[in-house]
Structure 1
Amino acid sequence: MIRIDDLGMFVRSAALGSFTAAALEADLLPGQMAAAIKRLERELDVRLFARTTRSLRLTAEGEQYLPTAVSVLETLKHGRETLRSENAPLRGVLQVAAPSDLGRNILLPWLSAFRREHPQLNLRFFLSDQIADLFREPVDVAIRYGLNHDANYVALPLAPWNRRVLVASPDYLLRKGSPTVATDLLEHDCLLYLQSGRVYDKWRVGAQTVQVSGPLFSDDADVARRWAVEGEGIAFKSWLDVSADVKAGRLVVLLQDHPGEPLPLSLVCPHRKQVSPAVSQLHSWLSQQLVTLKRV
């Protein structure tokens, strides 16, 4: 089995061109350095150095193997640094943006609990149904619905299984009846709201897209959910937004054989280098919480 220490001695000997210099640097005897190289050569069954009394140079096999040894050592170093940073207390400020209804009804208590586990971390939470511009607005990460079509962003999946669902209250269904096919929605009161600055009235249900209408509209997506709970009509919402109402019996999922469009949830940041320990741990924390809401 190859020893990691022997790999390090090989890399330093190659860099310095001398067993003696590498041994001095590592506070070892030259004989110990030479023994380490012999062990490595024995494990690899190749000769790594061409040695004379006056010079030390890599063989062709040594030159071929050197990048691999360097890569292995760098990977181990990165893993060690990551582990140390993840175990260190989180400090500083973490600025998070999220959709208003998801943030208010689901994420808020989870973020509060996350902050309690990391008391040296300051959390700033911004709620809006407008998509946050991570390059202009004072946020570090955004929690977003939908697929990441912007190559400039890094999207870490939180709930890739999430979908839109049609929901209405038992009271509404008792008064108006239940739709049996997607086109039945044309005869129902559909609850409308803004999405990306436009009225969301083209609902993709199963294989069909239906342009719906209704007497109620709001610029706050959570209002549509509240109207649905009050029996005012049918809403087409993220499962995450309505899961608690469905489980409590306040809402009923409709047309279950005609699934709504996928609506994955992700944690988005501008660049992979900005995935700090705080961002990484928040992603892990939220993923664990969200899996408890997965629809079965």
Structure 2
Amino acid sequence: MKMKALQDLDIFVRTVDTGSLSATARALDMTPAAASAALKRLELELATPLLVRSTRSLRLTPEGAVFLEHARLALSTLGEGMQALSTGRHQVQGVLRLAASSDLGRNVLLPWLDDFQALHPQLRYRLTLSDRMANMFSEPVDAAFRYGKPRDSSLVALPVAPDCQRVLVASASYLEAHGAPSAPEELAKHDCLCFMLGEELNDRWTFSRNGQALTVPVQGGHVGNDGDVVRRWAVAGRGIAYKAWVDVAQDVTQGRLHVLCPGWNTEPTPLYMVLPDRRQLTPGLRLLREFVAAACAALPTPPTHNKPSQRPFIAEKTPRSRHGQ
């Protein structure tokens, strides 16, 4: 491909990202007419319109949306190759556009990303936090950290913490006031902190023991659509939460939360790095995945039995229902 065509690709991608042909022209120190000519040249080469343009707005055509991700990948690959040639060795640098769930991102990934960036100072990252799974084919995200395999089978899910499971947790203040459930069935007598994603309410918690599965309907006075809010409620003593171990391992280690019903098996919730295409696993993302996987592996394992010294695990009071009965 000629360098002129590569410049046209760059103009196309920049115009989509900025939403403005004029802004792209200013950024590249060229006239709007030259930028417009580049887009027309690219569309002529592809024999298809990529953008619908008017005096006030522009939008991708369906064909343009498909071509956009291929253009991004081509420019990214070319950039890496040019950098490797110019330095004589491969440099890990650039911007990593990452997405993560709220709790994982704020309380776990943030300090890990700081440590990772200290090792690779030429890398920068943009972090988007949302419990909604990003559309990785239309949103500016290179990789997302998510629990559970994505429903979209076209996405690539690379394991980061494949053995992660949920744990029942509550604070010392809640347990001293309400007692600790000795089995999942007793959750019906407790305030349970439920997470809601969209219209889907996670109010049926699954456990197993001796090969027998048990699903427990739960309810309580607090329902949130943000995983970090649910964790904060648990730390504040508002009720019992059912959280991924990676999210609460530090809280348990530092005594803010305590694990309940440790004799029961809980829901597996493996953590993955999700990519739209395996070819987009750049050296920077590969190193980040290895770093986060090592950090997850270094976390302590959940308690497997009650320790007498951990007083909050012992139900010293008769458990009360959420209605005070």
Query: What is the TM-score with the length of structure 1 in the denominator?
Result: 0.68
Residue 205 (structure 2) aligned to one of 203, 212, 235: 203
Give yes or no for contact 1:168–1:253 (8 Å, CA) kept in 2: yes
1:53-94 C-alpha deviation (Å, 9 max, x unpaired): xxxxxxxxxxxxxxxxxxxxxxxxxxxx9xx89x62212221
Please report how far the alpha carbon of residue 205 of structure 1 lies from its aligned counterpart in structure 2 after TM superposition. Answer: 2.0
Residue 266 of structure 1 pairs with residue 285 of structure 2: no
Q: Kindly provide the amino acid, as one letter, of the partner of residue 215 in structure 1.
A: G
For 2:153, the equivalent position in structure 1 comes to 151
1:20-99 map, 5 Å: 88-99=90-101
Give yes or no for contact 2:182–2:261 (8 Å, CA) kept in 1: yes
| 5+ residue gaps, structure 2 | 1-80, 303-325
Residue 235 (structure 2) aligned to one of 214, 220, 229: 229
Distance in 2, matches of 1:212 and 1:264, equals 23
Please report how far the alpha carbon of residue 212 of structure 1 lies from its aligned counterpart in structure 2 after TM superposition. Answer: 0.5
Distance in 2, matches of 1:200 and 1:213, equals 10
Please report how far the alpha carbon of residue 243 of structure 1 lies from its aligned counterpart in structure 2 after TM superposition. Answer: 0.8
Residue 138 (structure 1) aligned to one of 137, 140, 148: 140
1:181-225 C-alpha deviation (Å, 9 max, x unpaired): 211111100011223652211111222111110011222111111
For 2:259, the equivalent position in structure 1 comes to 253
Residue 287 of structure 1 pairs with residue 289 of structure 2: no
1:85-130 C-alpha deviation (Å, 9 max, x unpaired): 9x62212221000011111001011112222222222211111111
1:126-181 C-alpha deviation (Å, 9 max, x unpaired): 11111111111110000010134432111111101100000111221121111122
| 5+ residue gaps, structure 1 | 1-80
**Percent identity between the two aligned chains:** 46
For 2:306, the equivalent position in structure 1 comes to none
Deviates more, 1:139-148 or 1:111-120: 111-120
Aligned-pair RMSD on alpha carbons? 1.9
Residue 278 (structure 1) aligned to one of 284, 295, 300: 284
Aligned residues: 213
Greater gyration radius: 1
Distance in 2, matches of 1:267 and 1:99, equals 12
For 2:183, the equivalent position in structure 1 comes to 181
Q: SS of the residue aligned with 1:293?
A: coil
Distance in 2, matches of 1:230 and 1:92, equals 40
Distance in 2, matches of 1:197 and 1:163, equals 24
Q: SS of the residue aligned with 1:165?
A: strand
Distance in 1, matches of 2:161 and 2:261, equals 22
Give yes or no for contact 1:129–1:196 (8 Å, CA) kept in 2: no
Q: Kindly provide the amino acid, as one letter, of the partner of residue 138 in structure 2.
A: R
Distance in 2, matches of 1:92 and 1:242, equals 31
Please report how far the alpha carbon of residue 231 of structure 1 lies from its aligned counterpart in structure 2 after TM superposition. Answer: 1.3
Q: SS of the residue aligned with 1:222?
A: helix
Distance in 2, matches of 1:143 and 1:136, equals 17
For 2:310, the equivalent position in structure 1 comes to none
Give yes or no for contact 1:130–1:197 (8 Å, CA) kept in 2: no
Residue 169 (structure 2) aligned to one of 163, 167, 170: 167
Give yes or no for contact 1:115–1:121 (8 Å, CA) kept in 2: yes
Distance in 1, matches of 2:198 and 2:265, equals 22
Give yes or no for contact 2:198–2:225 (8 Å, CA) kept in 1: no
Q: SS of the residue aligned with 2:265?
A: coil
Q: Kindly provide the amino acid, as one letter, of the partner of residue 146 in structure 2.
A: R
